[in-house]
Structure 1
């Protein structure tokens, strides 16, 4: 094998050594493996916070590869052209990667695979992002699941296969190709002065992900079913962040949670439902790739959504005058994450109390989340708005005040991000004002803003709009 040609392992959202099918298969060949990351148009099209978090993932995984005698080669440009150049430089005869099922990635990868194969280069894709391939899961009639409960029932006891063993060594290349410096990719540049604040709240790397899983299973899973909706409690897994970057595999989480479920541990089934909800979102996006751009239910195309407005901008800036909404929007800007219950509250407020198009909210989340998941983001926004698959009933309008009373009864979550009053800022509030753009001209000493809309009046307005939609004649 001394003269065996190398394999280019093209990394995207799979920065781990454990349960990494493409990486394990490459190592098993005994051939040299050259791990490569390409900053291309798909990367450039992602949001500011996700790109910053990507840079952190690359830094940690580069060090991880170095520790096992390998390297991470960084390049930028059109993916196909970069791969062709690397093939010419290294003599590689194979390009392997883990499947990314985002529609933009599918289009890119399909073109890359066809071009490489036409040039006589082996192009091979592997699973790893999901538990089950979307094309392998179908209803009794042969189509994709459109409703979550039957999807859950079909897969709750299914076996996604055993985890692949950790890769502890890779055969290095005889001669390594040149690599760009991570700093020169400037992945965090769009965050401007908020970058340092946001980075403090990230936990990049496989070791951090495994630690989060262990902590969740040992300390939080028992009460997960009842505590996960409490805004001020540290009761959720925190695994959406490493899952988004492939720093832990969904199969690793699934088997660990199933083991606790078999032990009869309360909370395990509730957690498995959430893991399969993520899976459901990706299956839907695969079969219906416009999920993030178009109303799932075509009748909603006639709904009188408001577009861009001063109200939408105040929502983005955490200046709506509804304390729990503003606290959640500040949490998002400071940490790059938002409690799941808070996500539903702020999404309902934007789409229902403010009657604003769900796509404006989706775009803001896509720009601000360090755990951004394109499928979960799209399905979540359409679910709350009422336009999506398995959607909440149109009349389900979250009241921010009653939600806060129920899920933040002592006000700790609101105080964490807003402070106790004018001039008494919490650390979270100080971080918010330190991170936001100066052009927003937010004054930390200013009194809280007046509410944008009376909650009862906003609910009545939304119900009237929905009633009009339901009463509209069908298109002939």
Structure 2
């Protein structure tokens, strides 16, 4: 039996359970060398997702070490690093899990071609998605542009059962050298915010699995309702783990199926949310412009405001718009690195419609601040909210942040949790916002509550007038 190692190149798949590439590598009966590469795609990440990835790498490295394995860390161009490791270790196979954003596809195609030319077996595997984007087609052979028919097509498809974690990974006779994670300084851009956000991180595979179990046991039954209530623990909270592959969508899907079979009312809605994530990747694969330009190209003519530093946009970023729902959600983002999904829709609608500001500015802010940043979901969410994306409802959906708060946060649990100004005894989490933000913002809990930058009712009129003037 050959003793040449198999390199398993980890990226957004920091887990042992349900890992097809790792499973296939172990099945070969040869030494397995796990590798993580800090390449340009990692270097380009925003502050929060880069820091969260660093935590995930560190935790996964410790998990491997407990099983007498290692995660070899290298920095550089991915192809150069892999070629060097092939030469150093005598590896004849390199396996990895597929990614689907344009940059990753270009890189991985180049890597696969170059390795094969050198006689190295190079194989990519699924695992980040349940349905490969090229396998879901309309009856006429095209791709889906609307979510509901996409859901109707895939909802009865078989989803592969999760694979078990391998036993002890076969180790090579000699391990290659690797970098020290701290030398990458991935936490540096977070500055003092890291200490504030850290308690809100659900780190690693074991924590993600436990959270899924809790969600299915205690929350999913009422998910239809609770997922819209930002003041309660009513969602799965697994977005950061899915983004880094600390849990697989297959695991979530099968847990949701079991819950539905048990008669838990909210289970199907949970399954639909998992498919919404798949739909984002489906669109990104077929229309990569989703990440960089208006998905509906007619919106190229819309006169978006494109200055990211106007007083209005600055107030939005700082959670100082004077509208409780907007400000609470933006502060939640800065303190926890995440934001309730209802909040994401409201703040995105306000920026793009009340302030008529380009969705790219909001998308970039989220890309810097979200620990659950995901290229497809972030882009589609922003374009959906802006009206330029895939949505059966036309442009005239303009969320009113006041009535939305009345509807989904009647007792103001969410607003009170995150807003300190004007309160005699603000919560610790509301106060922590001022410890997380840059000092140059010069914000204080003692400041007065600002007047609305653009009032809720006024903003709707502004948006509709702008759309009508452009013939939308």
- Could you tell me the TM-score, scaled by structure 1's length? 0.97
Residue 157 of structure 2 aligns with which residue?
158
Q: Partners of 2:447 and 2:423 in 1: how far apart? A: 7
Q: Partners of 1:145 and 1:69 in 2: how far apart? A: 45
Q: Partners of 1:251 and 1:443 in 2: how far apart? A: 45
Q: Partners of 1:204 and 1:94 in 2: how far apart? A: 30
Q: Partners of 1:216 and 1:422 in 2: how far apart? A: 33
Residue 346 of structure 2 aligns with which residue?
345
Q: Partners of 2:124 and 2:44 in 1: how far apart? A: 22
Residue 102 of structure 1 and its aligned partner are, at CA, apart by 1.6
Contact 1:420 1:426 in 2 (8 A): no
Q: Partners of 2:470 and 2:271 in 1: how far apart? A: 36
Contact 1:320 1:451 in 2 (8 A): yes
Residue 230 of structure 1 aligns with which residue?
229
The alignment partner of 1:24 has SS state of: helix
Q: Partners of 2:67 and 2:75 in 1: how far apart? A: 25
Q: Is the deviation greater in 213-222 or in 314-323?
A: 314-323
Q: Could you say if the C-alpha distance between residues 319 and 334 of structure 1 is closer, same or farther in structure 2, counting changes exceeding 3 Å?
A: same
Q: Deviations over 1:40-65 (max 9, x none)?
A: 10001111100111011111111111
Q: Partners of 1:423 and 1:85 in 2: how far apart? A: 61
Residue 104 of structure 1 and its aligned partner are, at CA, apart by 1.1
Q: Could you say if the C-alpha distance between residues 211 and 384 of structure 1 is closer, same or farther in structure 2, counting changes exceeding 3 Å?
A: same
The alignment partner of 1:470 has SS state of: coil
Residue 65 of structure 1 aligns with which residue?
64
Residue 229 of structure 1 and its aligned partner are, at CA, apart by 0.4
The alignment partner of 2:290 has SS state of: coil
Residue 463 of structure 2 aligns with which residue?
462
Residue 297 of structure 2 aligns with which residue?
298
The alignment partner of 2:471 has SS state of: helix
Q: Deviations over 1:248-283 (max 9, x none)?
A: 110111111111112222001111110100000011
Residue 409 of structure 2 aligns with which residue?
408
Q: Partners of 1:423 and 1:190 in 2: how far apart? A: 33
Q: Partners of 2:298 and 2:249 in 1: how far apart? A: 35
Q: Deviations over 1:10-44 (max 9, x none)?
A: 00000111110000100111100100000110001
Residue 380 of structure 1 aligns with which residue?
381
Runs of 5+ consecutive residues of structure 2 not aligned to the other structure = none
Q: How does 1:26-41 map to 2 (within 5 A)?
A: 26-41=25-40
Query: Residue 116 in 1 paired to residue 120 in 2?
Result: no
Q: Partners of 2:180 and 2:390 in 1: how far apart? A: 43
Q: Partners of 2:283 and 2:394 in 1: how far apart? A: 19
Q: How does 1:191-270 map to 2 (within 5 A)?
A: 191-270=190-269
The alignment covers a number of residue pairs equal to: 470
Runs of 5+ consecutive residues of structure 1 not aligned to the other structure = 472-476
Residue 324 of structure 1 and its aligned partner are, at CA, apart by 1.1
Residue 397 of structure 2 aligns with which residue?
396
Q: Partners of 1:62 and 1:271 in 2: how far apart? A: 31
Q: RMSD between aligned alpha carbons?
A: 1.1
Q: Could you say if the C-alpha distance between residues 423 and 430 of structure 1 is closer, same or farther in structure 2, counting changes exceeding 3 Å?
A: same
Q: How does 1:81-160 map to 2 (within 5 A)?
A: 81-160=80-159
